[in-house]
Amino acid sequence: MTPSQSSSEPEIPSVANAAGLLFAEQYGKEPSWIALAPGRVNLIGEHIDYNDGFVLPMAIDRYTAIAASRSDSGHLRIVSREMSEPIDVPATAIRCKGQPDWSAYVLGPLALCAQRGLEVGSLDAVVASDVPTGSGLSSSASVEVATATLAEAICGTQFELMEKAKLCQMAEHRYAKVPCGIMDQATSTAAIRGHALLLDCRSGSYQQVPFSDPDVAILIANTNVRHALADGQYAQRRSECSSALLKSGADSFRDLTTADLEKGSGQMDPVEWRRARHVVGEIARTLAAAEAMRACDWNALGTLMYESHHSLRNDFEVSCDELDAMVALAEKIGPAGGVYGSRMTGGGFGGSTVTLIAANRADAIRERLESEYRQKTDIEPTLFTTRPAAGSFLARGGAEGNKSET
Ligand code: GLA
């Protein structure tokens, strides 16, 4: 994190240029629009967006870019740098049927935009992304939000930010068939540079929490495993949480404390009880983490991250050996070596950890984690530092999005 982050000028990520070049190569003309949206890393507040909780994610400086121009083909023709099969559908009948799987993340938002009167019409487009896929960093949300941002630019209108996030979440539910919460799409939409996003998932309101101390950095470690049960277990956790809440007698986990749970746990089975304990504890930890961040108390924030990980491992049961190993290796380096805290991030069962570190120790910590994780698991991890980046915006073809700092 550097002081230059507090500037309100958006930096144009290199993937925007890559999308523009590929567009020119593919269609022999320049794109009229290039829309961008970032991936995210969740600092704390895991598996509580669908439980009315607070979450504290930030956008990462990895983006999906969509370059596009109008065409007279009558079709939506969309090529991806990362996916081999292109999308080609009639512009007036946007359906994923018969299209490659990745089309859900582009055609889903476009179909929902069209239902709200934002018809993009006949288009040529190119998608390029440097958000790692399958790593718990919300590559799919970045594609959805970049697409909705493109539709806004083409139609010369803008959704309210949370409305746009909800449209993209609905696209994920309906077209990609993933029953996700609102965190990923909200972060990709509403984040601003140099800040984490404290999002109240019950009301949809949010605060931008300054997070630009140049002395600390965020290290993401992709374990490079993704266990097959991830998707089914996500839906199962959602239903275990609903039945736990029903038996608690409360309308929302937000109205419960751990003490309340202890008093009224008689009805819950042991699994529901542990899920509820995670949710109620994690909501409190997230609010405490936002306070620690505001106070630049990195030891306190780090401790809350470890507590979150333990709760996700023991009570919510969404961690796995590789995530636990990466967190334990970071914890072993400890504050003396520049590590304040570490935890799994995202849905779990593989993917990435997020670690809060001293910026001047970043290289040493990264190298040590890489080599010790490789030794322990025989798997090559991918590690990189990132900083709180900006939510969706246009690199070409329209007014800036939500770039200003609050
Ligand atoms: C996935 C979902 C999010 C959220 C996290 C867990 O990333 O897409 O909505 O539920 O898991 O915190």
Average of pLDDT values for 326-346?
98
Residues 6+ apart with CB under 8 A from 313: 319, 324, 344
CA distance 247 to 150: 44
pLDDT band at 260; cut points 50, 70, 90: confident
Percent of the chain with pLDDT over 70: 94
Position with higher pLDDT, 119 vs 3: 119
pLDDT digits (tens, 9 = 90+) for 118-171: 999 999 999 999 999 989 999 999 999 999 999 999 999 999 999 999 999 999
Q: Which residues are catalytic?
A: 184
Q: Which pLDDT score, from 0 to 100, does residue 1 have?
A: 56
Q: Which pLDDT score, from 0 to 100, does residue 231 have?
A: 75
Q: Which pLDDT score, from 0 to 100, does residue 228 have?
A: 74
Averaged pLDDT of the chain: 94
Average of pLDDT values for 264-276?
88
Average of pLDDT values for 169-182?
95
- Which of the listed residues 41, 47, 185 should we mutate to test ligand 1's pocket, taking the one with most ligand atoms within 8 A of CB? 47
Judged against a pLDDT cut of 70, whether residue 223 lies above it is answered with yes
Judged against a pLDDT cut of 70, whether residue 229 lies above it is answered with no
Residues 6+ apart with CB under 8 A from 147: 35, 66, 105, 106, 109, 110, 168
Atom of ligand 1 nearest to the CA of 55: 12
Alpha carbon of 47 to ligand 1 centroid (Å): 6
Average of pLDDT values for 181-195?
98
Q: Which pLDDT score, from 0 to 100, does residue 148 have?
A: 98
Atom of ligand 1 nearest to the CA of 172: 8
Q: Which pLDDT score, from 0 to 100, does residue 403 have?
A: 40
Position with higher pLDDT, 97 vs 222: 222
pLDDT digits (tens, 9 = 90+) for 280-313: 999 999 999 999 999 999 999 999 999 999 999 9
Q: Which pLDDT score, from 0 to 100, does residue 5 have?
A: 39
Atom of ligand 1 nearest to the CA of 141: 8
Judged against a pLDDT cut of 60, whether residue 4 lies above it is answered with no
pLDDT digits (tens, 9 = 90+) for 48-74: 999 999 999 999 999 999 999 999 999
CA distance 75 to 276: 48
**328 token code pair:** 């334990």
Residue 341, Cβ density class (10 Å: 0-12 exposed, 13-18 middle, ≥19 buried): buried
Q: Which pLDDT score, from 0 to 100, does residue 56 have?
A: 98
Atom of ligand 1 nearest to the CA of 47: 12
- Which of the listed residues 48, 180, 305, 312 should we mutate to test ligand 1's pocket, taking the one with most ligand atoms within 8 A of CB? 180
Comparing CA positions, the residue from 337, 336, 335, 279 lying closest to residue 308 is 279
Q: Which pLDDT score, from 0 to 100, does residue 136 have?
A: 93
Question: Can you give the chain as a three-state secondary structure string?
Answer: CCHHHHCCCCCCCHHHHHHHHHHHHHHCCCCCEEEEEEEEEEEECCCCHHHCCEEEEEEEEEEEEEEEEECCCCEEEEEECCCCCCEEEECCCCCCCCCCHHHHHHHHHHHHHHHCCCCCCCEEEEEEECCCCCCCCCHHHHHHHHHHHHHHHHHCCCCCHHHHHHHHHHHHHHCCCCCCCCHHHHHHHHCCCCEEEEEECCCCCEEEEECCCCCEEEEEEEEEEECCCHHHHHHHHHHHHHHHHHHHCCCCHHHCCHHHHHHCHHHCCHHHHHHHHHHHHHHHHHHHHHHHHHCCCHHHHHHHHHHHHHHHHHCCCCCCHHHHHHHHHHHHHCHHHCEEEEEEECCCCEEEEEEEEEHHHHHHHHHHHHHHHHHHHCCCCEEEEECCECCCEEEECCCCCCCCCC
Do 131 and 150 touch, CB atoms closer than 8 A?
no
Average of pLDDT values for 210-228?
95
Ligand 1, atom 8, lies closest to the CA of 180
Judged against a pLDDT cut of 80, whether residue 186 lies above it is answered with yes
Rounded to whole angstroms, what are the CA distances from 149 to 106, 110, 170, 358, 376?
A: 11, 10, 15, 35, 43
Do 221 and 369 touch, CB atoms closer than 8 A?
yes
Average of pLDDT values for 382-386?
98
Alpha carbon of 142 to ligand 1 centroid (Å): 14
Alpha carbon of 404 to ligand 1 centroid (Å): 27
CA distance 38 to 392: 7
Alpha carbon of 71 to ligand 1 centroid (Å): 36
Do 111 and 94 touch, CB atoms closer than 8 A?
yes
Ligand 1, atom 9, lies closest to the CA of 181
Instruction: Please state the φ and ψ torsions of residue 26, each to the nearest 5 degrees.
Output: -70, -45
- Which of the listed residues 43, 48, 49, 237 should we mutate to test ligand 1's pocket, taking the one with most ligand atoms within 8 A of CB? 49
Residue with tokens 């590690």: 383
Judged against a pLDDT cut of 60, whether residue 404 lies above it is answered with no
Alpha carbon of 346 to ligand 1 centroid (Å): 5
Ligand 1, atom 11, lies closest to the CA of 347
Alpha carbon of 155 to ligand 1 centroid (Å): 30
Q: Which pLDDT score, from 0 to 100, does residue 7 have?
A: 46
Kindly list the protein residues whose Cβ atom lies closer than 6 A to any atom of ligand 1.
Answer: 42, 46-47, 49-50, 180-181, 183-184, 346-347
pLDDT digits (tens, 9 = 90+) for 76-125: 999 999 998 999 999 998 988 899 999 999 999 999 999 999 999 999 99
Judged against a pLDDT cut of 70, whether residue 230 lies above it is answered with no
Ligand 1, atom 1, lies closest to the CA of 347
Alpha carbon of 48 to ligand 1 centroid (Å): 8
pLDDT band at 227; cut points 50, 70, 90: confident
Distance of CA 26 to the CA centre of its chain: 30
Q: How far is the first Cα of the chain from the last one, in angstroms, to the nearest whole number?
A: 18
Instruction: Please state the φ and ψ torsions of residue 195, each to the nearest 5 degrees.
Output: -140, 150
